[in-house]
Amino acid sequence: MTSTDLASSIRPASERERAERAAASGGEPTLAFTERVPYDAYVRADTLHTLQRTLSDDPGEMSFLVISQVMELYFGLVHHELREVQRLLRADDVWGALLPARRAALHLDGLNAGWQCLRWMTPADFNRFRDLLGEGSGFQSAMYRRLEFLLGLKTASLIRPFRRQPAVHAELAAALRAPSVWDDVVALLARAGHDIPADLLGRDFSDEHQPHPAVEAAWVEIYGDAGPGNHLRLLGEALTAISEGFGDWRHRHLASVRRAMGAKAGTGGSNGVQWLRRSLDREVFPELWSARTHI
């Protein structure tokens, strides 16, 4: 549907118009429309419900597929919020950045709830359709990789699987080279007067940020001021919630994999549980955590 088609199906209405419509209908919902139902035009529900194409007749595969698709949508939503956080931080609008940061943390709660819906899956349940997935794996999610890069977890080799998808590869390469949210936070700390070394600000952003004592010291100082006007402290807490939520997702992913397949090799070629365990050692926004030891 084009923007023009959408506009013809969804006509803006004021509070007064809605009240008049409700009064005229006696409070009953509108049942007749000149175009398609506005809800469907906006949400694209008719399209969403055609995207579940299972590979087997096993009824449990639908659960696996839908939860995977829902998680993809959440990856994109969290990514969207964090890009807004970046935009506002670059404009030194710390107060404004708090709302999208808090939204991102709440979206991560929604993302994490998805794992609850797969707790029914035993190895026998997964095996009924697992072979049909071939080499398909969540490891190959481009949006998840973009989210990881935005959170500062950068590994250049992980964009290689997308070389035959030029547009996706280009987006990932750009995300790899671009500053992460944490890089923008570090730059913000420097502009706020904290003693951040110049080489940390001008580094190659395609390399993963390594914890630095100057960044840790800045957060120790920030957390020492409990005043209501300390927006950086509020930002620190919002970012901590994001880091914690993303860490929870990775822990629950590991638990779900262990539940469904034990220590078997992953469908995407990794050694499964061992690969996931190693990834847990990489922490998002590390100095926010280490600073707590010195506060």
| Cβ atoms of residues 201 and 186 within 8 Å | yes
Q: Is residue 180 part of a domain?
A: yes
Tell me: do 65 and 127 sit in the same domain. yes
Q: By three-state DSSP, how is residue 121 classified?
A: coil
Residue 8 covered by a domain: yes
Within this chain, do residues 29 and 172 fall inside the same structural domain, yes or no? Answer: no
Residue 281 maps to which CATH number? 1.20.58.480
Instruction: State residue 9's pLDDT score.
Output: 73
Instruction: Give dist(CA 139, CA 161) in Å, integer.
Output: 10
The reported pLDDT for the residue numbered 275 is 64
| Whether residue 23 is found in the same domain as residue 127 | no
**Residue 170 and residue 65 share a domain:** yes
Are 221 and 93 found together in one domain? yes
Same domain, 98 and 181: yes
Q: Are residues 72 and 156 in the same domain?
A: yes
Residue-level pLDDT at 8: 59
The annotation status of 130 as a binding-site residue, yes or no, is yes
Are residues 8 and 137 located together in one domain of the fold?
Answer: no
For residue range 13-67, list pLDDT tens digits in order.
Answer: 899 988 888 898 888 887 888 888 888 888 999 999 999 999 999 999 999 999 9
**50 is annotated as contributing to ligand binding:** no
Domain membership of residue 55 (yes or no) is no
**Residue 270 has what pLDDT?**
61
pLDDT value at residue 44: 92
Whole-model pTM: value is 0.92
C-beta pairs of 255-263 under 8 Å, 24+ apart in sequence? 255/115, 256/115, 256/118, 256/119, 256/121, 259/119, 259/121, 259/122, 260/118, 260/121, 260/122, 260/123, 260/125, 260/126, 261/123, 261/126, 261/130, 262/123
In a domain, 54, yes or no: no
Q: Do 126 and 199 fall within a single domain?
A: yes
Alpha-helical regions (H) of 25-180: 38-43, 45-48, 60-90, 94-113, 123-130, 142-150, 166-177
Quick one: pLDDT at residue 262? 83
Q: So what's the pLDDT on residue 272?
A: 66
Is 251 labeled as ligand-binding?
Answer: no
Q: At what angle do helices 213-223 and 231-261 cross, to 10 degrees?
A: 120
- Say yes or no: 119 and 37 in one domain: no
33 is in which domain, residue-wise? 3-48
What amino acid occupies position 71?
Answer: M
Whether 181 maps to a domain, the answer reads yes
Q: Confirm whether 53 is domain-assigned.
A: no
- Structure tokens given for 96: 């404004």
Query: Do residues 196 and 279 both lie within one domain?
Result: yes
Structure confidence at residue 3 (pLDDT): 56
In a domain? residue 198: yes
**What pLDDT is attached to residue 17?**
86
Report yes or no on 56 lying in a domain.
no
Low-confidence ranges of the chain (pLDDT < 50): none
Q: Are residues 80 and 198 in the same domain?
A: yes
- The number of distinct structural domains making up the chain is 2
The pair phi, psi for residue 274, each rounded to 5°, is: -65, -40
